[in-house]
C-alpha cells in the first residue's frame, strides 16, 4: 500500500511540475508580448490613403493573374506516362519465394 501511495505522490509532483512550467512559460510569453509590442503613437496625422492603397493591391493582383495565365499557356509540362505493369507484383514474388523455401527448392549460396 505504501508503494501505491508513493507512486501517487511522485505522479502528482511530476504533473504539478509540468503544469507549473507550462503556466510559467505562458506568463513569460504574455509579459514578453506586453513589453515588446509595437506601440502606435497617439497622433492625429492621417495614414496612407486607403483608396489608392487598395487600388495598387487590385492592380498587383490583376497583374499576377495575367502573368500566371500567360505562363500557363506557354507551359510545356505534360503528364508522365504510367510505367508498364510488372509480370508479377512484389507480394506475389514474396509469396513464391516463401513457398520455394518451405519446399526446399530454394538453395542458398
> pTM above 0.85?
no
Q: How far apart are CA 17 and CA 22, in angstroms?
A: 9
Q: How far apart are CA 59 and CA 53, in angstroms?
A: 10
Q: Is 89 helix (H, G, I), strand (E, B) or coil?
A: coil
Kindly report, residue by residue over 67-104, the tens digit of the pLDDT. Answer: 988 887 776 777 788 877 767 788 888 998 898 888 87
Q: How many of the other CB atoms lie within 10 Å of CB of 7?
A: 10
> In this structure, what C-alpha cell is assigned to residue 8?
501517487
Amino acid at each position: 500500500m505504501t508503494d501505491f501511495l508513493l507512486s501517487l505522490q511522485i505522479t502528482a509532483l511530476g504533473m504539478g511540475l509540468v503544469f507549473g512550467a507550462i503556466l510559467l512559460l505562458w506568463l513569460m510569453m504574455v509579459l514578453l508580448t506586453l513589453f515588446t509590442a509595437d506601440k502606435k503613437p497617439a497622433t492625429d496625422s492621417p495614414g496612407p490613403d486607403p483608396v489608392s492603397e487598395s487600388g495598387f493591391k487590385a492592380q498587383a493582383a490583376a497583374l499576377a493573374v495575367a502573368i500566371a495565365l500567360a505562363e500557363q499557356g506557354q507551359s510545356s509540362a505534360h503528364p508522365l506516362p504510367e510505367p508498364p505493369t510488372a509480370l508479377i507484383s512484389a507480394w506475389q514474388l514474396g509469396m513464391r519465394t516463401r513457398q520455394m523455401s518451405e519446399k526446399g527448392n530454394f538453395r542458398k549460396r
